[in-house]
Amino acid sequence: GQGGTIYTKPTATLSLSVQGQRPGDTSGLSGAVTSAATTQISFASQITLIAASQYLSGPQPPVANQASTYSLTWSVKNSSNAVGSASVSTVLPAYVSYVSGGAGIRYVSGSRTLTWQIGDLQASTGYPKAAVSNSFQVSLMPSTSQVGQAVPLTGTAVLSGTDRFANVKVEA
């Protein structure tokens, strides 16, 4: 909203009225015709995922075939409505190994999938309430072709959940 105000459970009501004149036809019907409709729209919450990484140990800059360890932090924000079953998910590249993670973070080695089960996100999380954050550590083992390159430590991370007011899936 204006001035940085976060509105909770935002809605808009749309009303439409139509009126016209029916011309006479062979059946003799003529006269005014009117119709009206009203509907309410619920706006879904906007969720945001912020990712940051921090070097922890090993060669810096990374050296081929030598492990360097990093801590990655995901921070989540949520605007106007409560969001249920929120989670963040990504897939680790073949050259990155999972080391450890905070509460709620689960790694499945077979699929290389890393998931943070957040649960419920309150409205206004991060606006002005504190964002919800969690961290995990990974080890990078670059190949000779990756040395000197900026290599991603994860695949694309996706934050998703269900807006409990608008009753729709939200994703960032």
Over residues 43-59, the pLDDT tens digits come to 788 999 999 999 999 99
- Band the pLDDT of 15: cuts 50, 70, 90: confident
CA distance 62 to 53: 14
Question: In terms of Cα–Cα distance, which of 126, 137, 66 is closest to 98?
Answer: 137
Q: Which residue has the tokens 């079953």?
A: 85
Query: For residue 17, what pLDDT is reported?
Result: 87
The token duo for 55 is 């070097």
Residue predicted with more confidence, 16 or 116? 116
State yes or no: pLDDT of 154 exceeds 80.
yes
1 has a pLDDT exceeding 60:
no
The reported pLDDT for the residue numbered 76 is 97
Tokens representing 75 are 């921070």
Least confident of 31-45, 99-113, 120-134, 143-157: 31-45
**Reported pTM:** 0.81
pLDDT of 2 above 90: no
137: its two tokens: 């550590």
If we measure between CA atoms, which residue out of 139, 144, 143 comes closest to residue 154? 139
